[in-house]
Every structure is written in structure tokens, then in C-alpha cells.
Amino acid sequence: MLVFASFVPAQAVALQSQETCPHTGDWTKVDELSGTSYTYTAPAGFLISEWCYKASTTVVYGYVIPPAQSFTVESTVKNDNDQVQELSHASFRLVVIPTETPVVTETPVVTETPVVTETPVVTETPVVTETPVVTETPVVTETPVVTETPVEPTSTPVPQKTGAGDDGIPWNVPVGMLIAGVSLLWFFWKK
């Protein structure tokens, strides 16, 4: 980017003296100039942030906003005949090109939550089979004959309610123990 200074910007300061532009620290000075303008290009990795030039006995300072890779100073100093004076030297303040620090973002750890599906509780309904009633068929003859038809009964276990839990202990035993324990605590606490 090439920037031309063809007027004295608001931030430029002109000083009347035998002063020279800075040449130490982060300033770079170019001597023995001729002409009314000079373009300076900063070395790789640097930008120009300020400038200074001297024309006749006047030193002029200014800023490069925003800092640039290249900048042109142009004399605005005039003599008594209203002629623009030539540059004798110029200085440029260099700043290191800022590098962007990459923003590190953490990748969230994704943990899958297992889907819990309830297994339905299956309760078996007891199968009840009726035992057929054996009926006797009387045969009327002089000698009565009784014939029985043998029927085999179907044996199906039927769960019985005993009042006990799965561990075989009746439910009223733990409840009774709990009531007795609370009563004892209450008794001793009141004393």
C-alpha cells in the first residue's frame, strides 16, 4: 500500500530549527535526499508508524494511521518566495507487524448417555384348570353295574400368598422391629 502525504496533516508538527530527524532506536534515517518527495518501503516484517522530514531549516513530524508497509513524504515547507523546499533527509519509525495469535478452543468431549429402556416386569398369571367332576352313570339291570371313567387331574402349581417378602421374612416383622426401635429411642430421649 502506497500512501502519499501531499499536505501537512493535522497530526504533523513543523519545527523551525537546525534540528534533525531521529535516527536511533526504532527510527530509520535516510540522508542526502533531493526533490520534494520521497517514498520509503519498510523491510519485511515491519510497518511504518511515524515519519519525519527536514526541508530547509524546518523539521516536520507525522503519524501513519494505520501503520503501512510503504509511505511517501512530500514537502510542504515553503520559502519566502512561496516555493516548496526540497527534502534534505527523512526518518521513519518502524513497528513489528503484529501477528494474530490463534484462538485455541477446546473441543468438548462428547459422552453418549446410554438409553435406558425399562424391561417390563412379567408376572405370570397362574393357569387354573378345573378338575372335572366324575359322575357315575347308573345302569339299570337286575344287577346294578357302576362304571367309573378314570380322569387324570392336571397338576398346576398355584403360588400362595404367605405374607412374606422375597426373602421369606413376613412383612410385619421388619415393621414391628422399626416401631419398637423408634419407641425405645423416644423413651430414652424423653428421659
Least confident of 3-12, 17-26, 146-155: 3-12
pLDDT band at residue 7 under the 50/70/90 scheme = very low
Please report the pLDDT score of residue 92 as a whole number: 98
What element of type H or E holds 188? helix 172-190
pLDDT mean over 98-104:
79
147, burial (CB in 10 Å: exposed 0-12, middle 13-18, buried 19+):
exposed
pLDDT band at residue 151 under the 50/70/90 scheme = low
Phi, psi of 179 (to 5 degrees): -65, -40
Strands 27-30 and 58-68 turn out to be: unpaired
pLDDT band at residue 43 under the 50/70/90 scheme = very high
**Residue 140 pLDDT more than 60?**
no
Q: Nine-digit cell at 82?
A: 512561496
Q: What pLDDT digit, counting tens, does each position of 158-189 carry? A: 555 555 556 666 656 667 777 877 777 777 77
**Residue 11 pLDDT more than 90?**
no
Q: What is the mean pLDDT of the chain?
A: 77
pTM: 0.47
93, burial (CB in 10 Å: exposed 0-12, middle 13-18, buried 19+):
buried
The answer to whether 53 and 73 are in contact (CB under 8 A) is yes
Q: What pLDDT digit, counting tens, does each position of 50-85 carry? A: 999 999 999 999 999 999 999 999 999 999 999 999
Of 137 and 2, the structure prediction assigns the larger pLDDT to 137
**Spatial separation of the C-alpha atoms in residues 64 and 51, rounded to whole Å:** 7
**Distances from the Cα of 43 to the Cαs of 23, 96, 97, 161, in angstroms?**
16, 10, 11, 97
**Is the link from the previous residue into 66 a cis peptide, with omega within 30 of 0?**
yes
Residues in the chain: 191
pLDDT mean over 101-126:
71
Of 35 and 133, the structure prediction assigns the larger pLDDT to 35
